[in-house]
Amino acid sequence: MGPMKRPRKRKAGDRKTPRRTRIDPNQLGLFEIETSPARAAPPATIAKPRRSAIARKTALADRPAVLNARDAASYLGVSISTLKAWRRARMGPPHTMLGARMVGYRTALLDAWLASRTIDPDRADH
């Protein structure tokens, strides 16, 4: 038997793990790209911009005169399904038909409807 060989010491450039393949998010998994772990780029993510409360209020102030159902629900602080239920029951804010199935809400009428539903705190019968 000959002398036993010791395992070689690792150098700075040696790989600890074998090469791995990663899927490029732009290729939808059709092609695989072989990269080394040291050079692998982080996956591309799209960061959603955060809006402060002031920016949201400013955005609401800059809205057009006629809002769609989603924007009107956001403006009133209710869900879209609540607006739909109010339309069916004929008890919600007045709406305008912009097409065969497209509903619109005028901001002035939404404000007037909200004002009409304000309860006076001095009244005892609420």
Domain presence at residue 3: no
Structural domain boundaries, residue 60? 53-116
Domain presence at residue 9: no
Burial 107-119 (b: 16+ CB within 10 A, else e): bebbeeeeeeeee
Domain presence at residue 81: yes
Q: pLDDT (tens digit, 9 = 90+) per residue, 58-80?
A: 665 666 789 999 999 999 999 99
Total domains present in the chain? 1
Give the containing element (helix H, strand E) for 34. Answer: strand 32-35
Q: Are 107 and 67 in contact (CB under 8 A)?
A: yes
Domain presence at residue 4: no
Q: pLDDT (tens digit, 9 = 90+) per residue, 8-39?
A: 777 766 666 666 666 556 655 555 555 555 55
Domain presence at residue 28: no
pTM of the full predicted structure?
0.47
How many percent of the chain have pLDDT more than 70?
55
